[in-house]
Amino acid sequence: MSMLTQHDAKHVFNQLRAGLVPERGLDALAVGVDKPRVELHRQLDLVCEGSGSIKFLRGGYGCGKTFMARLAIADAQARGFVTSFVVVSDNDLRFHRFEEVYRKVVTELATESCPRGALGDMLDRWIASVEAGLTSLGVDDHASDFDARVRAKLDEALRNLTGGKAPPDFVRVIQTVFDLKQRGEYSEAGALISWLSGSENVAASVKKQADIKGDIGSSDALAYLRGILEIAKAAGYKGMLIVIDEAETILRMRTDSRHKSLNGIRQISDASGEYPGLLWLFTGTPEFFDNRRGVAGLAPLHDRIRFIEQGEFASLRQPQLRLTPFDAVRLHEVARRLRDLYPMPNRARVIAKISDGFIERLVARVTEGFRGDVGVVPRQFLRELISAMDLVDEEESYDPDAAFGFSTANLAALRPEEQAALDGRAASTVNTAPTTLEAGDDDDGPVPEVQVW
């Protein structure tokens, strides 16, 4: 277990209080995930060596899919990767429109030193390396034609890096960003970087300076992503990891949107090997992969990534990486780690009063409240545990063994899977159908194979 800074420890506790997965400090909570973590490291090694790859994290509610994906992001950044973490949403990220996927991916680009919006920093690093390459060849950086030579080198380098597949607008925008920064017009340069990030709100006057019209569309977005990937590697990064979280949201979409979204995943899967240095990581529930409304309904995608198991065994190296639910042992270990990391003033009192015995009893109470389904317990259990720690920290006379009680009646904002456990239903009974279906929607039929981008 790695040591956390006080800043990261406070972040971890604040996120868990709200029932959210922390973005930092995850290594300290990584219990029982050694094998899947090693497989994801293997994937990072593959793309670092020049491959392109795609992986799917498979698990029910409470298995830690988002946690594992966030941990992969942290591990990738520590290895020198650029990363992006996006969540499929009915409203904010419609996966069947790749210009929206592209915009989210590029907006959320991050590195170990830049937690969000790292494209501008990547461009600066790459352009600086191009300039350094010219000066190393004896070119005078004070010469009147130096900027023109840099501009020409940017064009040449992009064409070489992408095998001539970079869109002309992509090249012109980057050259114009360089020109604008050289003239001190940083606001205009920033606006063009926003355009390159997929923004549809860049003034026509700014776009005119780069001789571009319109915005990046679905048909062009993958080509732009290739250019950004190559710039990231040329700027010194090892590669890129893109996480698409909660792919099961696609199951709730209308039939036409669902079909297009599944075909979008198929197109990404088919093209993944053509993007050296890029790893796609999707998370989804077994229902998403096995239901005919999901991956199983699109035969070419299902054949490519289908899950294979032999009895209780399943290889970690197949396209779908199965995550197992929490059990009481893992909950105990995570709880003990959190207790020892508690970042508030009366930490010693918390460590003394939140005993192993109290933790064991709390695990039993919360699990009993959810009708014995340990798999859906972690989020609510950790909130209850931290609440007890906070009370010990705030009130010297508070005795958690005597005073603390757990009742499901006091729980708010339950997720559907948690409510299903309270009701004694299996998580698989949670409704994944769209809210409304239009007349004529063939909701149970096979998903037709189409090119959506």
Per-residue H/E/C for 397-442: CCCHHHHCCCCHHHCCCCCHHHHHHHCCCCHHHCCCCCCCCCCCCC
> At CB < 8 A and 24+ separation, what contacts does 396-401 make?
396/346, 396/349, 398/353, 399/353, 400/353, 400/354, 400/358, 401/353, 401/355, 401/357, 401/358, 401/361
What is the residue type of 428?
S
Q: How far apart are CA 152 and CA 123, in angstroms?
A: 16
User: Residues 95, 72, 373, 293: what is their CA dihedral angle, to the nearest 10 degrees?
Assistant: 20
Q: Position of tokens 């966030």?
A: 70
**Cβ count within 10 A of residue 208:** 10
Asked whether the beta carbons of 13 and 337 are under 8 A apart, the reply is no
**Cβ count within 10 A of residue 270:** 13
Asked whether the beta carbons of 85 and 106 are under 8 A apart, the reply is no
What is the third-level CATH fold of 34-111+237-322? Rossmann fold (3.40.50)
**Cβ count within 10 A of residue 161:** 18
Asked whether the beta carbons of 198 and 134 are under 8 A apart, the reply is no
Quickly list DSSP for 369-401. Answer: HTTT-GGG-HHHHHHHHHHHHHHHHH-TT--HH
> Which pLDDT does position 202 carry in this prediction?
97
Asked whether the beta carbons of 179 and 200 are under 8 A apart, the reply is no
**Cβ count within 10 A of residue 44:** 21
145 alpha-carbon distance from chain centroid: 43
At 358, list the tokens: 């109290």
User: Any residues with CB less than 8 A from the CB of 325 and at least 6 apart, and which?
Assistant: 59, 60, 62, 63, 374, 375
Q: Which stretches of the chain drop beneath a pLDDT of 70?
A: 1-2, 369-376, 405-444
3-state class (DSSP) for residue 277: coil
| Ranges of each domain in the chain | 34-111+237-322, 119-232, 328-425
Q: How far apart are CA 63 and CA 322, in angstroms?
A: 9
> Which pLDDT does position 17 carry in this prediction?
95
Whole-model pTM? 0.91
Taking only the tens place, the pLDDT of each residue in 232-290 is 999 999 999 999 999 999 999 999 999 999 999 999 999 999 999 999 999 999 999 99
Asked whether the beta carbons of 13 and 316 are under 8 A apart, the reply is no
3-state class (DSSP) for residue 342: coil
Q: Helix crossing, 119-136 with 186-196: angle to 10°?
A: 110
| Residue 236 vs residues 34, 81, 198, 333: alpha-carbon distances, Å | 29, 9, 23, 38
Torsion 126-174-76-342 (CA) sign: positive
Q: Position of tokens 């020198």?
A: 80
User: Residues 191, 194, 196, 199: what is their CA dihedral angle, to the nearest 10 degrees?
Assistant: -120
Q: How far apart are CA 384 and CA 331, in angstroms?
A: 12
